[in-house]
Structure 1
Amino acid sequence: MYSVIPYRAAYAQSVSQLFHDAIHAIDEAQYSLADKSAWSAKPRSAYHWHRRMIRSKAWLVIDTRSMHDGLPVCSGFINIEMGFHSRGYIDSLYVHPEYQGKGVAKILYQALELWSREQGYKELSVDASRLSKPLFLSYGFNVNHRSYQEKLGQVIMGYLMSKSLG
């Protein structure tokens, strides 16, 4: 059924499309069409996503029951930054709309937290969207403060959250 695998270059285009599809599936009561279009106007190149993913530690959840372009379907992805200043920052957590509510985000988060603990990370942080805030609260994160990102002239509100691993 579902398997967690490390990110692979062969999935770069799938990750790009998944990100775009997940953004545009968000209910407009959460984020307006203008917000979503600024967040992801169109899928970015596979090259963009490949570079982003290899500069971090990233995992995919694949659905081994379904194939696309000769690969099991990527149903979600997560990545964490490892740089000195951004160490432990969760850069992305996205689940394809068809797989939302099926435990994919939990599988991804558990893989990330286990790896982070094994690496000796003391804290995790994330800029969570309105949509993902309850998910991160359920994993023991606390809200530090609201956060704002400007994308293509749209100000998109979220929450800077953190969790101690100590």
Structure 2
Amino acid sequence: MQIRRYQAHDLNEVLALFQQTVRQVNIRDYSTAQIKAWLGTDSVTIHQHWQQRLLTTTTMVILDGQKLIAFGNILATGYLDCLYVHTEYQRQGLAKWLVTTLEASVSVTQYTVAASITAVPFFVAQGYHIIRRQEVVRADQVLTNFFMIKTSCE
């Protein structure tokens, strides 16, 4: 397995991985209607938004051979924006590898994340602390997540 910077040609694989992970992993903690709202629509505009988002932040992907199996990104502020691992590769240390790599790429005093219900235990294990519960409305669905912080010396 290898980790490398995101490249523009990775977009379709990243989007497929995002959709697959939300549908198969996050369904444990969110309803079908919430999952549908989380995934949103699939359009050229959405693809352009994702591409800009991934190219303008530090975005890393993990490959198993030629297969893209994980990705994550972090803003210069230390905000972890995305972190997704293929369902068949969960609990193998890939998310930890991504987070460690992403955190090392920015020089900040603290890291933050809006973690899904599903991801909270992972982030707690990485030294993050829950600050508050949040509710985000998408397509008339309320999605709960948790704003979490980790100081860079932890």
> What is the distance in 1 between the residues matched to 2:83 and 2:28?
20
Shift of 1:59: 0.4
Decide which structure has greater helix share: 2
Greater CA drift, 97-106 or 7-16:
97-106
1:13, 1:49 within 8 Å by CA — same for their partners in 2?
no
1:34 and 2:33 aligned: yes
Equivalent residue, structure 2, for 1:108: 98
- Residue equivalent to 1:78: 72
Number of residue pairs the alignment of both structures matches: 151
The aligned counterpart of 1:160 is: 147
Over 3 Å counting, the alpha-carbon distance change for 1:105 and 1:43 in structure 2 is farther
- TM-score for both structures, normalised by structure 1: 0.85
Q: Percent of counterpart pairs with the same letter?
A: 29
Structure-1 separation of matches of 2:90 and 2:57? 24
Question: Which residue does the alignment assign to 1:25?
Answer: 24
Letter in 2 for 1:79: N
Computed over aligned residues only, the root mean square deviation of the Cα atoms, in angstroms, reads 1.5
Separation of aligned partners in 2, 1:103 and 1:31: 24
In the alignment, the residues of structure 2 paired with residue 61 and residue 9 of structure 1 have an alpha-carbon distance, to the nearest angstrom, of: 15
Question: Within 5 A, what are the aligned runs for 1:120-131?
Answer: 120-131=107-118
Structure 1 residue aligned with 2:59: 58
Distance 1:39 1:10 in 2: 24
CA deviations on 1:19-59 (whole Å, 9 max, x unpaired) are: 11111013544111011000004556543321110121110
Moved over 6 A (4+): none
Task: In structure 2, give the amino acid aligned to 1:137.
Answer: V
1:111 counterpart letter in structure 2: T
Q: Please report how far the alpha carbon of residue 11 of structure 1 lies from its aligned counterpart in structure 2 after TM superposition.
A: 0.4
The answer (yes or no) to whether the contact 1:20–1:43 under 8 Å persists in 2 is: no
1:67-99 deviation line (CA, Å, top 9, x unaligned): xxxxx11101110112xxxx1111100111121
- Structure 1 regions of 5+ residues with no counterpart? 65-71
Q: Does 1:96 align with 2:86?
A: yes
Name 1:15's counterpart in structure 2: 14
Tell me how far apart the structure 2 counterparts of residues 165 and 115 of structure 1 sit (CA, whole Å). 12
